[in-house]
Structure 1
Amino acid sequence: MGTRALILLEGASNMVRYVQAARRLGLHPISLSVDPSRYACLAAEGIEIIRVDTDNLDALISECSRLRKTYDIAGITSALENVYATVGKLCEYFHLSGPDSASIERCCNKFTQRQILAKAGIPIPAYRLATNASEVKSFATEIGLPVILKPIVGIGSNGVRLCRNVNQLVEHTIYLLGGKHIWRSPPSILVEEFAQGPQYNLEVMGDEVIGIAAADYGPPHFVCRGHIYPARLTDPECKRIADVSLRCLRALGLDWGPTNIELRWTNRGPVVIEVNPRLAGSPVPDMVQLAYGVDLVTEHIKLVIGDEWDLHKGHAQTAAARYLIADCDGTLDRIDGGGPAAAVPGIADVKMYVEPKTPVIRRDRIAHVIAAAPSRARTEAILQRAVDIIDWSITRK
């Protein structure tokens, strides 16, 4: 029997972790990508990256069939939502363990997801689907300002904005429908009630809630500025959040693998904002491992290759991340202090995303800092000390 290989479709913020975890499990990782030049981080790991059109299922089947002549393909997966339904189709074709492609596709359409959750009686914001500016304005009036406009397909808050008045509504509608936004689907806009209250993000594996984070998503574009695990919640509040989240998974048919769920605690209790049918992006798995002792990436790979996973929580501490965000369009002139920040006792990771002299746009993530300690107060103090050391400047465009 040939070397056991793990096929990874495209790259994502977690992909280096997938490569490293696969090797620890005795697997040979191979990446399939439409543009291998985008993944310098994978090339640095010495991984084989094969050019193939990852939007073309037949081309992927052909390439995987070719690889099977050399390797024993133990599993196929990805950390990228855009291709996760395709992963499911490949797994179905090759009789491998994987997600249900139809469930993934339904979930990735935010309007379809809303319809399914509403039918199941799960608390969600009021919403309407608009295809032109007139419908956007009409539905916003019907729901009542402020409202959130978002494309029905997309990740990372791309194209999302809170509109508090008519001028902002018109401005963002023009942005979305006027050719500036890059659509991954026929242009359709979700007009959504602004569910107000603290936000919590859940990491779920199968039907088990691994962790609940308090998340800081700053309006108007809802770019994440920080996470802290575990969230400060009472046991009854945790149970309500977990119960609502697991009802979502049952309704959407997501009973396999990792899921990330976002919700807000409103005057109605937990209201579901979004169900993401895949593992959350980096550095969430790092924080989960620091806080709960569960390596989500390794356990996901075990599921992919048909091994028994272990979701036992090994230890308990508080882990928190702060994301440094560009506050304007321009060029990052400099960013200093990464080394001294990383040397602060209790800092688990400092990562720079952008090199000096690189163009940035408002809302780009420049860096992250992660801290972990036995108590929340200690973790927050460590994190703030490290963040204060880092300094950067941007020349406005």
Structure 2
Amino acid sequence: MAKKALILVEGHRGNGPLYIQAAQRLGLHPITLSADPTQYDYLASQKLEAIRVDTEDLDAMIRECFKLYASYDIAGITGFTGLDESLYVRVARLCRHFDLPGPNPASIERCCDKFVQRELLAQAGIPMPAYRLATFTTDVESSAAEIGLPVIVKPALGSGSSGVRLCRDFDELKEHTTYLLGGKHIWRSSPKILVEEFARGPNYSADTMGNSVVAIGAADFGHPPHFVVRESIFPALLTADEHKRIADISLNCLRALGLGWGPANIEFRWTNRGPVVIEVNPRLPGWTTPRLIQLAYGLNIVAEHVKLVIGNQCNLRSSHSRTAIARFLVPDCDGVLDWIGGDSQAAAVPGVAEVKLYVEPNRPIVRKCDYLDSIGHVIAASASRTQTEAIIQRAVNLIRWAITPFSKPPEQ
């Protein structure tokens, strides 16, 4: 009898190992398809099967899966998104081609285009910031004038806060538009820019599986004009009414976008008119969110997603209630990382669940003002928010590093 395999398209520094573990616990053999398997350290360290294939080419992946069918019973296919969210569209089409469980490719594709997503949400009456689509500098300027400064300016396609900036005056607007359209920002399709009203207020996110809201967390970002996450907390500190409002809007988003299979993540700001939707991501969030949900609720959301992928029923019941916090380590300057340490001492602090450093000494640090700026994280959990905050602060204080600034700015 052929061994059951789970196909993972590309990998992920945070979620990748969690999917590997979940697959193995379910008796599945994980196989990664990647344009460059060497970029995922865990594949080599765990001696996992990986196949080099152009993951931007759907036909190439179909051919590779047909070859695998000769040796394996492919139980399911899923994948990860990086800055190219269209990869998840190809994953959905791959599932559809082999008649395996997966999301609707058309719904995923519509959702990945943030302007199309905004239009569909607007038609459904979902509360959102005012927005305009722009393709030229003059469009950006006129859109900002119509909405009123300050505005958020960002690519209509992309993730991880790449290319996202708060523009508080027309000088900043011109500077960022030049960056986006002047050749420095990498576009994977024709440039399309969203100009949006700046929604002021605390940040929240709802994580869903199927048609259920499984967790609502809060996030804290660094100082404007960029949006680099500094901290994530589950559960968010909300009243029962506030929780219900976010949950209800989240489910309305899923219906408006034709989602409802598998995971999704909806980002909010709580403004003076209540919660407004900033973005809907038709996938499980990366980084520390799955780990935080497991610590806070006792729910392994990755394992439950894998169950769906292979056609099984998932169990979304929480088994406990705690407070889990992730603090991200973000340098305040560019340069060469001379040394970094204290992670072992931080990991030994009672209540700390995880300490990870993403960098090693003698490597250049060049901040891009997006999620890649983080050089590590600390996760802690306990029975109360106050206690967890104290634990994580104690641990973070133990981690130190030194950066020697560049003598001259590196070439971009």
TM range (shorter): over 0.9
1:86 aligns with 90
Of 281, 301, 306 in structure 1, the residue corresponding to residue 306 of structure 2 is: 301
Q: Is 1:182 paired with 2:175?
A: no
- Kept in 1, the 8 Å contact 2:352–2:391? The answer is yes
CA distance, structure 2, for counterparts of residue 334 and residue 261 of structure 1: 37
Q: Is 1:133 paired with 2:137?
A: yes
Q: Report % sequence identity.
A: 62
CA distance, structure 1, for counterparts of residue 213 and residue 164 of structure 2: 27
1:290 aligns with 295
Q: Is 1:195 paired with 2:196?
A: no
AA at the equivalent of 1:8: L
1:46 aligns with 47
- Kept in 2, the 8 Å contact 1:76–1:304? The answer is yes
- Kept in 1, the 8 Å contact 2:86–2:109? The answer is no
Shift in Å, 1:82? 4.0
2:409 aligns with none
Q: Which contiguous aligned blocks of 4+ residues in structure 1 show a shift greater than 3 angstroms? A: none
Give the alignment's TM-score, normalised by structure 1. 0.98
When the two chains are superposed, the root-mean-square deviation of aligned CA atoms in Å is 0.9
AA at the equivalent of 1:358: R
Q: Trace 1:53-202 onto structure 2 (pairs within 5 A).
A: 53-80=54-81, 81-202=85-206
1:230 aligns with 235
2:401 aligns with 392
Shift in Å, 1:282? 2.1
- Kept in 2, the 8 Å contact 1:347–1:386? The answer is yes
AA at the equivalent of 1:18: Y
Shift in Å, 1:135? 0.9
AA at the equivalent of 1:309: C
Could you list the per-position Cα deviations for residues 184-231 of structure 1 after superposition, in whole angstroms to 9, with x for gaps in the alignment? 221111001000000001111111111111111232211111111111
AA at the equivalent of 2:124: A
**Secondary structure in 2 matching 1:200:** strand
CA distance, structure 2, for counterparts of residue 49 and residue 21 of structure 1: 17
1:375 aligns with 384
AA at the equivalent of 1:297: V
Shift in Å, 1:348? 0.3
Q: Is 1:24 paired with 2:46?
A: no
Q: Is 1:255 paired with 2:264?
A: no
CA distance, structure 1, for counterparts of residue 40 and residue 245 of structure 2: 40
AA at the equivalent of 1:42: L
CA distance, structure 2, for counterparts of residue 32 and residue 20 of structure 1: 17
**Secondary structure in 2 matching 1:213:** strand
Give the alignment's TM-score, normalised by structure 2. 0.95
AA at the equivalent of 1:173: T
2:336 aligns with 331
CA distance, structure 1, for counterparts of residue 365 and residue 86 of structure 2: 23
**Secondary structure in 1 matching 2:327:** strand
Could you list the per-position Cα deviations for residues 228-261 of structure 1 after superposition, in whole angstroms to 9, with x for gaps in the alignment? 1111100000000000011000000111000111
**Secondary structure in 1 matching 2:375:** strand
**Secondary structure in 2 matching 1:17:** helix
Q: Is 1:6 paired with 2:6?
A: yes
AA at the equivalent of 2:21: Q
CA distance, structure 1, for counterparts of residue 308 and residue 46 of structure 2: 23
- Kept in 2, the 8 Å contact 1:326–1:361? The answer is no
Shift in Å, 1:361? 1.9
CA distance, structure 1, for counterparts of residue 115 and residue 404 of structure 2: 39
**Secondary structure in 2 matching 1:211:** strand
- Kept in 1, the 8 Å contact 2:323–2:388? The answer is yes
Could you list the per-position Cα deviations for residues 267-312 of structure 1 after superposition, in whole angstroms to 9, with x for gaps in the alignment? 1111000000000102110000000011011000000001111111
Q: Unpaired runs of 5+ in structure 2?
A: 407-412
Q: Unpaired runs of 5+ in structure 1?
A: none
AA at the equivalent of 1:38: Q
CA distance, structure 1, for counterparts of residue 219 and residue 343 of structure 2: 23
**Secondary structure in 2 matching 1:233:** coil
1:271 aligns with 276
CA distance, structure 1, for counterparts of residue 119 and residue 221 of structure 2: 24
**Secondary structure in 2 matching 1:145:** coil
Q: Is 1:34 paired with 2:35?
A: yes
CA distance, structure 2, for counterparts of residue 111 and residue 393 of structure 1: 41
Shift in Å, 1:136? 0.7
Shift in Å, 1:357? 1.2
AA at the equivalent of 2:260: D
Deviates more, 1:33-42 or 1:63-72: 33-42
**Secondary structure in 1 matching 2:356:** strand
CA distance, structure 1, for counterparts of residue 335 and residue 143 of structure 2: 35
**Secondary structure in 2 matching 1:319:** strand
